[in-house]
């Protein structure tokens, strides 16, 4: 079982772009949405769903729906623990530093907590109150909790009604579905968390990305699955749309705001609602990557440090949040308040730290990977070590190991997978 290194590299790239966007440096604006009116968050969610679809659909086919459901829930619990840790870090360390320095950036970011600490802590742990920067993981957890039923239904009955329902929910979200659900919840429960404090991301819109990612990933894990391909006219149209989005983003008068100060038209590209033109730009970029990806993979030199970041994406994501919060608490949110060499030193230190976190995380996670993976043809030495320690690898891993120099038979062909779901 080998990892899909190109997917790890893409996730690593998304993490780098998110870090550059969130850190208050001179690079945050020019490198925000670098490929068009699409941010790293969309890529991160879509890639995570794609890999989850590959890994858990394969698990469901081999071990059954119950095993797949349990794996999803264990993963959601791990992500929840990471979210709770970052939440406590914000409420303790960042609150103490920000208030001591009297930092407006921090006081604005956690204003609801400062006004209602007990309510904020309780509802934060319930994934209701989600401060800025800490609102991706709660959405991710919700998607992970729902995914077992979605994937089980799709594997049994197909994807048509699931995708159709997801598109319908996205369309209703553009008309205010999220606010209506919030108001109905307040009327029933008396919830005291303001709507703007429940997270920037419109969950009913962003679920579409998750469903599309699950669908594509599950399809790739099926026996005899063929690579995704599009008609020539679709590819040409996708390239044109992606080019228009790229040029418009970098040479248009509005910069990251497609229509400048026109709030109404900018909703068509709205990030939080995943507006229709933004979704079109994203789908065009996805089609371009799918079409030209194999060609690039065969010709572009691998960037190992990006792969390392992507392979440990969950701890790296949490570490990047902690670094960004510390910088905001100490330096503030003004990207031009410091000299350029300060920005350079900050970025160098930040990415060195994130790489260190990734290396340590992968090293600590390696024994579990060896136990979960096929400690046979791919890891004969590891299998021997585990056996010597009195630990038996999984039954699926106990397959004959070819003699040195011998070529494996048809029954011993190695299977390439995505490895574990997003870390």
In this prediction, residues 181-188 reach a mean pLDDT of 95
pLDDT band, very low/low/confident/very high, at 409 (cuts 50, 70, 90): very low
- The reported pTM is 0.84
The answer to whether 361 and 420 are in contact (CB under 8 A) is no
Q: What is the pLDDT of residue 274?
A: 97
Q: What is the pLDDT of residue 367?
A: 63
Got the DSSP string for 126-138?
TTS---TTS-HHH
Q: Higher model confidence: residue 49 or residue 384?
A: 49
Is residue 398 scored above 60 in pLDDT?
A: no
Q: What is the pLDDT of residue 288?
A: 95
Closest listed residue to residue 38, CA positions, set 208, 286, 281: 281
d(C-alpha 103, C-alpha 80), whole Å: 28
What percentage of the chain has pLDDT greater than the value 70? Answer: 86
Domain ranges of the chain: 5-398
Closest listed residue to residue 82, CA positions, set 415, 361, 369, 386: 361
Is residue 148 scored above 60 in pLDDT?
A: yes
Q: What is the pLDDT of residue 224?
A: 75
Is residue 351 scored above 60 in pLDDT?
A: yes
The end-to-end CA distance of the chain, in Å, is: 17
What DSSP character marks residue 393? P
Is residue 83 scored above 60 in pLDDT?
A: yes
Q: What is the pLDDT of residue 267?
A: 94
Tens digits of per-residue pLDDT, 92-141?
999 999 889 988 999 999 999 999 999 999 999 999 999 999 999 999 99
Across the chain, what does the average pLDDT equal?
86
Is residue 404 scored above 60 in pLDDT?
A: no
Is residue 402 scored above 50 in pLDDT?
A: no
Q: What is the pLDDT of residue 368?
A: 58
Q: Higher model confidence: residue 417 or residue 250?
A: 250
């Amino acid at each position: 079982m080998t990892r899909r290194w190109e997917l790890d590299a893409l996730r690593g790239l998304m993490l780098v772009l998110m870090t550059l966007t969130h850190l208050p440096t001179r690079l945050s604006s020019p490198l925000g949405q670098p490929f068009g009116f699409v941010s790293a968050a969309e890529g991160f969610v879509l890639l995570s769903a794609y890999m989850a679809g590959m890994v858990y659909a394969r698990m469901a086919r081999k071990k059954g729906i119950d095993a797949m459901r349990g794996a999803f829930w264990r993963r959601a619990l791990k992500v929840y623990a990471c979210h709770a840790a970052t939440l406590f870090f914000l409420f303790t360390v960042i609150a103490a530093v920000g208030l001591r320095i009297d930092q407006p950036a921090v006081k604005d970011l956690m204003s609801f907590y400062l006004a209602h600490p007990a309510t904020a802590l309780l509802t934060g742990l319930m994934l209701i109150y989600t401060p800025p920067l800490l609102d991706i993981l709660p959405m991710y957890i919700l998607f992970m909790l729902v995914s077992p039923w979605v994937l089980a239904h799709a594997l049994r009955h197909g994807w048509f009604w699931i995708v159709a329902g997801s598109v319908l929910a996205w369309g209703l979200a553009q008309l205010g579905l999220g606010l209506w659900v919030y108001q109905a919840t307040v009327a029933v429960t008396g919830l005291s968390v303001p709507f703007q404090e429940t997270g920037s991301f419109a969950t009913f819109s962003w679920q579409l990305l998750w469903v599309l990612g699950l669908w594509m990933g599950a399809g790739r894990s099926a026996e005899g699955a063929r690579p995704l391909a599009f008609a020539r006219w679709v590819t040409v149209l996708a390239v044109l749309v992606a080019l228009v989005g790229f040029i418009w983003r970098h040479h248009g008068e509005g910069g990251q705001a497609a229509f400048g100060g026109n709030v109404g038209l900018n909703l068509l590209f709205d990030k939080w609602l995943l507006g229709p033109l933004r979704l079109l730009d994203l789908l065009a970029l996805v089609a371009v990557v799918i079409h030209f990806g194999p060609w690039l993979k065969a010709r572009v030199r691998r960037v190992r440090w990006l792969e390392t970041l992507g392979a440990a994406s969950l701890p790296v994501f949490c570490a990047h949040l902690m670094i960004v919060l510390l910088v905001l608490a100490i330096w503030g949110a003004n990207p031009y308040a410091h000299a350029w060499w300060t920005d350079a030193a900050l970025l160098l230190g930040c990415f060195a730290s994130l790489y260190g976190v990734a290396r340590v995380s992968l090293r600590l996670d390696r024994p579990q990977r060896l136990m979960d993976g096929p400690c046979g043809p791919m890891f004969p030495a590891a299998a021997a070590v585990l056996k010597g320690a009195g630990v038996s690898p999984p039954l699926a891993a106990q397959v004959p190991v070819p003699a040195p120099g011998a070529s494996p038979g048809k029954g011993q062909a190695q299977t390439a997978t995505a490895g574990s779901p997003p870390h």
